Amino acid sequence: MAEHVFGGIKIRHLYKIFGPNPRAHIEAVKNGLTKTELNAKHGHVLGLRDINIEMPSGSIQVIMGLSGSGKSTLIRHINRLIDPTAGEVLVDGVDVVKMHEADLREFRRHQTAMVFQKFALLPHRTVLDNTIFGLELQGVSRPACVYTAMRWLERVGLKGFEQKYPNQLSGGMQQRVGLARALANDAPVLLMDEAFSALDPLIRMDMQTVLLDLQKEIKKTVVFITHDLDEALRLGDQIAILRDGEVIQQGTSQDIVLRPADDYVANFVKEVNRGRVVHVEAVMSPLKAVIAAGGRPSISAGVTIEEAVRALASAPEGDITVVDSSGKPLGTVTFRQLAGAMVNAHGASHRAAA
């Protein structure tokens, strides 16, 4: 029997209005009633307006925005901790909004796992017993629980700490327990709501690396909430930026940095270290004739500008060839192009395309 391939998440025309009678105002909101008007005239709060996001299976989808933008409200619709006022949330092709209570309970236990900002560990349980908590709820035998938990604790770097209690661990170690607990459930969807926001910067970077390294193997569909752009750009295969409950822009890190949709997004990205985000093919000069890469220094498409600068420093010519995964030349790039892109990647992308 063929193994089932998880189909990802599709959110379609999702609205959320908070208040005593939200359905009475959904048509007015659909017809353009603003968040301010809804609150002033009807005493209701608009949480989400017409959210449409498709999250491919096995990818990291970052939902980013400032406090009050609706990002935590959105992630809680995926496992229906919050019921929408209108819209669909399709997980592996099934609309979570239409699930009955028993189906929803099974869905939460087996299809999704959640990692919280505040760790949400049980203080009276050891690291091991915290990690197996979800498996216990599923009725898995104790030996099987322990085997699975120990495997994931080792993977997140906590081997030897399984009999410690949460108050004996640092914040970063506690979040590793939270991650191990979520991974032990073996759910295809991993929901991470500001999971690393409470951690110190260096520990936060370390946890990002742990997640990225694990994701190369486990290929979960990860929905990651953050208010930090650097974190979003580092983690996200796709990024959606929210403001006042609406999606302002969605795309790859390259899309967000090179082509901000408006001044709001442009202000977000203006302080970004472009050298670590922008890929070299965004600023290269396309080939005007077919050339052979053999004998010439080359770099692969997909490397960052910062990596390309290091490669170019050892190149005897004034440029370097950019090649695809098969070694086919795609273009050339000079130090001047790379330096210009690090200062103003948006302008550099337009010059390269000209």
Delimit the domains of the chain by residue range: 55-273, 275-353
Mean pLDDT of the chain: 89
Instruction: Please list the residues that pair with 334 across neighbouring strands.
Output: 319
Average pLDDT over every residue of 195-209: 91
Average pLDDT over every residue of 156-185: 93
Supply the pLDDT for residue 309. 87
User: What CATH number was assigned to the domain covering residues 55-273?
Assistant: 3.40.50.300
Average pLDDT over every residue of 228-251: 94
* pLDDT level of residue 345 (50, 70, 90 thresholds): very low
HSE-up (13 A, CA, CB side) for residue 270: 6
Q: Is the pLDDT of residue 314 over 90?
A: no
> Which region among 118-122, 139-143, 305-309, 315-319 has the lowest average model confidence (pLDDT)?
315-319
CATH superfamily for 275-353 is CBS-domain (3.10.580.10)
- CA distances, 175 to each of 117, 124, 151, 286, 341 (Å): 8, 16, 16, 45, 37
* Equal CATH topology for 55-273 and 275-353: no
Which pTM was predicted?
0.87
Q: Is the pLDDT of residue 348 over 50?
A: no
Supply the pLDDT for residue 354. 36
Separation between Cα atoms, residue 74 and residue 16, nearest integer Å = 9
Which of 84 and 272 is assigned the larger pLDDT?
84
Separation between Cα atoms, residue 201 and residue 337, nearest integer Å = 32
Q: Is the pLDDT of residue 19 over 80?
A: yes
| Cβ partners under 8 Å of residue 283, min gap 6 | 305, 333, 337, 338, 340, 341, 345, 348, 349, 351, 352
* pLDDT level of residue 214 (50, 70, 90 thresholds): very high
User: What does DSSP say about strands 221-226 and 45-55: parallel, antiparallel, or unpaired?
Assistant: unpaired
Residue whose tokens read 């690396």: 209
What percent of the chain clears pLDDT 70, i.e. is strictly above it? 92
Q: Which helix (H) or strand (E) holds 130?
A: helix 127-131
The answer to whether 114 and 158 are in contact (CB under 8 A) is: no
